[in-house]
A = this chain, B = another copy of it.
Amino acid sequence: MTTITGAAKKRLEISDIIGGACVNQAVSIHGAVHSLRDMGGITFLTLRGRDGVVQCVCPPEVDLKGVSEECTAVVSGVVRAEERAPGGFEIAAAAAQVLSRPAAPLPVPVSRWKLGLNLDTELALRPLTLRNLRARSVFRVQEGIIRAFRDYLHGQGFTEIHTPKIVRAGAEGGSNIFRLDYFGRKAFLAQSPQFYKQMMVGVYERVFEAAPVFRAEKHSTARHLNEYTSLDLEMGYIDSFYDIMDMETGFLKHCFRLLRTEYAADLGRLGVALPELEEIPCVRFDEAKRRAAERYGYQIRDPYDLEPEEEHHIGLYAKEAWDSDFVFVTHYPGKKRPFYAMDDPEDPRYTLSFDLLYKGLEVTTGGARIHDYAAQVEKMERLGMRPEEFESCLMAHKYGLPPHGGLGLGLERLTMKLCALENVRYACLFPRDLNRLDP
């Protein structure tokens, strides 16, 4: 009988080499052939690993017959310092052993610094275009964001939850919900984990989830996806809905710290300079609208709505007036918020809620929720809803919930703005939109 001990093998990484740890040592390292340049006898083979690329200089004695881009191989040789090489080190290759070969040459120049493709082509060839160093760095940064979200909340006493994506009722209402047949019953894909995270506040007080949500919106804009990753949190025993904004600000500061320390190479490749985040200005909805309209000289069309163009202007205002990429806009009108939003007792036309705008784009929606059963039922009836259809969603309210609130943050939108991408589709590995279901 064999046994498996779980002893991880030591693998030599490209970062070890370009970090200078192996100079003048003989090494063998695997990777994909990122590019291949024959300089008349000597061939420069750039090997791509998960954490970077390294230049391998192959004299004619190294057999490169049948080696092409996107072959995978093990290159053996001696590491030497070479200031002209990317990273400052290269491998003087003695041999290259091919592990696998592509069946066809790449249809696009993956190894170029900028891909230079149009959006449709880049996304249609995503399994290949993601091999581009800058394209893949976007999703390393995205990993950093989600790690920071979990780490920070974990440190703040939150528990991670996993709630169902096939549901009996939508949380956000409206028609933008995907329907499916569930063993002969009508079911939906969750637009958000809203009901479930509220239920779980009754269990763990503070919960979070990072998971896909689904919106059947027929918008085709640069900021909408039909499936995205929502970073959700919900917290009980809040003193006010400002506690939720404080939690988000704490997360963002932690996120930037983590990205700076652990994702510097990816940020550098993307040319991203992270904002120095100390605090986030916070302004009421009506005041934000008024200030932006005055400063940029336009008329407010609808006092109870916030159009994308206005968000853009409020973001600009926050940058110019307060030197901040971020701004919390608070006290949204009840009309723009779902039934679970808590009304402002001082003016019930407004709610104790907020959006976070980042460079003029809404990346988060949050606020205090109604925790009292009678108050929630009353508001639903006032809005023409039938509370009896939401019996299981209101069970937690009926049998007791603390004052609470929470937020939902769109991972792809945050990634998009952080990496200065033009379209949210670039911030999603395999985006789903009106026309895109593949790959």
Contact = CB atoms under 8 A, between A and B. Distances in A.
Contacts of A127: 199, 202-203, 392, 395-396, 399
Interface string A116-144: 00000000011110110000100110110
Contact of A180 (B161, B178, B203): B178
Contacts of A154: 147
A130 B204 CA distance: 9
A413 interface: no
Given A183-B218, A250-B8, A401-B100, A146 B167 contact: no
A286 B13 CA distance: 38
A148 B150 CA distance: 13
A372 to B, nearest CB: 7
A11 B157 CA distance: 10
B7 A246 contact: yes
A103 B401 CA distance: 10
Contacts of A242: 4
Number of copies: 2
A150 B196 CA distance: 24
Interface stretch (A55-63, A304-312, A332-340, A431-439): A431-439
A181 interface: yes
Contact of A50 (B189, B204, B253, B399): B204
Given A1-B282, A4-B282, A392-B439, 20 more contacts: A4-B279, A7-B250, A8-B246, A9-B246, A72-B402, A100-B403, A103-B374, A103-B398, A103-B399, A130-B203, A147-B160, A162-B411, A163-B429, A165-B165, A166-B178, A179-B181, A182-B437, A183-B216, A196-B429, A211-B212
